Structure 1
Amino acid sequence: MTKIAGAPISWGVCEVPGWGRVLESGQVLGEMASLGLAATELGPPDYLPSDPAELKALLAEHGLGLVGGFLAVVLHDPPRVPSTVEEADRVAALLAAAGAGVLVLAAATGLDGYDERPALTDEQWRTLIQTSAKIADVAAGHGLRTVLHPHVGTHVERAAEVERFLADSELQLCLDTGHLLIGGVDPVDLARRHPDRIGHVHLKDVRAEIAEEVRAGRLGYTAAVQRGVYVPLGDGDVDVEALVSLLREAGYTGWFVLEQDTALGDDGPTDTPVRDTTRSLAHLKKIIGKG
């Protein structure tokens, strides 16, 4: 049985300051449940309750499970390692208490947002690898797996960085079809070459012409989202069917998390997330039905 989940970012809920309108969690979870999604990811820090009992109660109210949570933290700066590991421990404990199974880690730059990305030295890269391993050990102590999420505007974004991480680290990846494509990585090719390193999946579809603008540095990531770089599955340039079929043939049994990064205007409509997620869900189910 294919496991399909949602994520608050599809409803415009993001940790980036000034990203856009943030809907109440009850509305977001209720709409996820109304679409028949089985579970959600945690969303930005403290968007959902940080108390395990309150979080479990809120999820149960909507009949949803918890898949895991995204944690973008600075991994490359030695003075910040203790606080980074401490934050990962806190988040992992919350996830585990609420029944989640995976910590989705990203190598944050330390800057707000995802529009700038300073280069790392080799020593900073080694610290990044070591810190991610420490976090994986901490999460394992709570019964969680840790996956590294190549993500636009982080220190693991482009093809060379993804390959370097795979070579230097034992962690599996969160295969995010959208962020990989924007970073210049073919997600289908990556899954074909490294099927054993795919530990979690975020399904997005992307308009390649806008992705190229971001990759070339002519358009910031936030502006790209506002321009509609992400579209419902099947409407963009990611070969979602090939990817899903390949992963299933390779024995992937984890979650497929529907994510369509969205920024809602303060005065605009709020029904777009439900409409777009409905289309993505229908497209995914059609693919699964062919299997």
Structure 2
Amino acid sequence: MKAKLGMSPIAWWNDDLAELSDDVSLEECLRQSRSAGFTGMEMGRRFPSDPDIMLPILKTADVTLCGGWFSGTLVNEDMSANKDRIQPMIELFKAVDAPCIVYGEVGRSIQGDRSKPLATKPKLSDSEMKDYARKLTEFGEWCADQGMPLVYHHHMAAVIETEPELDAFMKYSGAGIPLLLDAGHLVFAGGDVLRAIDNHHARIKHVHVKDVRMPVIDALDRTKQSFLDAVALGAFTVPGDGSLDFGAIVKRLAHHGYEGWFVVEAEQDPKKNPPLKMAQIGHKELMRVMTAAGYTVETQGFPVA
């Protein structure tokens, strides 16, 4: 089985918490991650939106664009508005041969609002969940028809956060909206990663290997502290530096035949946790557990024409 290892630039620059950002260029970010062994990088705010500018940067770094976040609002905004906003991203991602766009729901979400405690996250009724899942399926099918598949990112402080919410969303949605499995977000929400893989492996098309520091999460007062408070306190980290058993997680994905990207997305203070050092720790741990699970990790970065 083949796998690819990527990173998210959120380890270098945080889009929601400016104070958790390193003053490094895109080129330096790519150089550091590639030197640690990663062949892919998801898109962040310092990436150019013009493929003619982005492609030479990726080629020089020997790195593939392996995804990127789209802030979707289908829970409270119409389909046409989301299509209009995602269309330029679809064209960009097609031009640089990215595998997918990551759909993250920000409608009604409190994930970016530090004044809103975790306990006040939005919840959908059963009828709302059915309607939302139907819209996401239709939107995912439309994006795939445009030539760029979506993957759905369940997320803390959003409408699909907990394992029961994920189960309901997967029940009511269709194959037209594949799943991004994020181990860290699911555990933070009290879920069981191995059970989620068993239940939804057929739809998993992208994986975020986000680790967590459970002592930080367990100490949170969810009636007072927000998602961003948790991030600032160090709730997330890279595999090999946190509380999750990625040996078991990767083995379970391998058991179900998952092949594709494993992306380290670990937002934390780069001054306390230097991104290059953390990238090296994460890559070493992933290579250990992926080799044990029977994966062959691809070492080529930028695709050869």
Q: Do the structures match in fold with TM over 0.5? A: yes
Matched with 1:82 is 80
Measured in 2, the distance between the counterparts of 1:3 and 1:34 equals 15
- Could you tell me how far 1:76 is from its partner in structure 2? 1.0
Q: Does the C-alpha gap of structure 1 residues 149 and 114 become closer, same or farther in structure 2, counting only changes over 3 Å?
A: farther
2:122 corresponds to which of 118, 123, 126 = 118
Matched with 2:279 is 277
Measured in 2, the distance between the counterparts of 1:19 and 1:149 equals 25
Where do 1:9-24 residues align within 5 Å? Answer: 9-11=10-12, 13-16=13-16, 18=18, 20-22=20-22, 23-24=24-25
Q: Which moved more, 1:114-123 or 1:192-201?
A: 114-123
Q: Does the C-alpha gap of structure 1 residues 253 and 193 become closer, same or farther in structure 2, counting only changes over 3 Å?
A: same
Matched with 1:102 is 100
| Structure 1 segments unaligned to the other structure (5+ residues) | none
Where do 1:254-269 residues align within 5 Å? Answer: 254-264=260-270, 268=271
Measured in 1, the distance between the counterparts of 2:33 and 2:197 equals 28
Counterpart code for 1:167: K
Matched with 1:139 is 143
- Could you tell me how far 1:112 is from its partner in structure 2? 6.8
Measured in 2, the distance between the counterparts of 1:18 and 1:157 equals 24
- Could you tell me how far 1:103 is from its partner in structure 2? 1.4
> TM-score if structure 2 supplies the norm length?
0.84
Measured in 2, the distance between the counterparts of 1:189 and 1:70 equals 25
Q: Is 1:92 aligned to residue 96 of structure 2?
A: no
Counterpart code for 1:20: L
Measured in 1, the distance between the counterparts of 2:155 and 2:220 equals 13
Instruction: Say which SS state the counterpart of residue 263 (structure 2) adopts.
Output: strand
- Could you tell me how far 1:210 is from its partner in structure 2? 2.3
Instruction: Say which SS state the counterpart of residue 255 (structure 1) adopts.
Output: strand
Higher relative contact order (CA 8 A, sep 6+): 2
Measured in 2, the distance between the counterparts of 1:2 and 1:101 equals 13
- Could you tell me how far 1:106 is from its partner in structure 2? 1.4
1:123-161 per-position Cα deviation (integer Å, ceiling 9, x unaligned):
643443243223312321232221111111211101221
1:228 corresponds to which of 231, 234, 240 = 234
Q: Is 1:40 aligned to residue 41 of structure 2?
A: yes
Asked whether the 8 Å contact 2:79–2:139 carries over to 1, the reply is no
Where do 1:246-257 residues align within 5 Å? Answer: 246-257=252-263
Identity %: 26
Measured in 1, the distance between the counterparts of 2:113 and 2:87 equals 24
Measured in 2, the distance between the counterparts of 1:240 and 1:136 equals 29
Q: Is 1:172 aligned to residue 170 of structure 2?
A: no
Matched with 1:3 is 4
Measured in 2, the distance between the counterparts of 1:100 and 1:217 equals 39
Measured in 1, the distance between the counterparts of 2:90 and 2:36 equals 28
Matched with 1:287 is 289
Counterpart code for 2:57: L
Measured in 1, the distance between the counterparts of 2:17 and 2:3 equals 35
Q: Which moved more, 1:165-174 or 1:125-134?
A: 125-134
Q: Which runs of 4+ in 1 moved over 4 A?
A: 121-124
Matched with 1:59 is 58
- Could you tell me how far 1:283 is from its partner in structure 2? 0.7
Counterpart code for 2:112: G
Measured in 2, the distance between the counterparts of 1:43 and 1:244 equals 26
Asked whether the 8 Å contact 2:9–2:42 carries over to 1, the reply is yes
- Could you tell me how far 1:193 is from its partner in structure 2? 2.4
Measured in 1, the distance between the counterparts of 2:220 and 2:168 equals 22
Q: Which moved more, 1:55-64 or 1:22-31?
A: 22-31
Q: Which moved more, 1:229-238 or 1:177-186?
A: 229-238
Matched with 2:303 is none
Counterpart code for 2:30: L
- Could you tell me how far 1:21 is from its partner in structure 2? 2.5
- Could you tell me how far 1:279 is from its partner in structure 2? 0.6
1:71-99 per-position Cα deviation (integer Å, ceiling 9, x unaligned):
12211114x43222211222122111111
Counterpart code for 2:48: P
Asked whether the 8 Å contact 1:232–1:277 carries over to 2, the reply is yes
2:200 corresponds to which of 180, 194, 205 = 194
Q: Is 1:185 aligned to residue 191 of structure 2?
A: yes
Q: Which moved more, 1:2-11 or 1:229-238?
A: 229-238
> TM-score if structure 1 supplies the norm length?
0.88
Instruction: Say which SS state the counterpart of residue 6 (structure 2) adopts.
Output: strand
Matched with 1:31 is 32
1:207 corresponds to which of 182, 206, 213 = 213
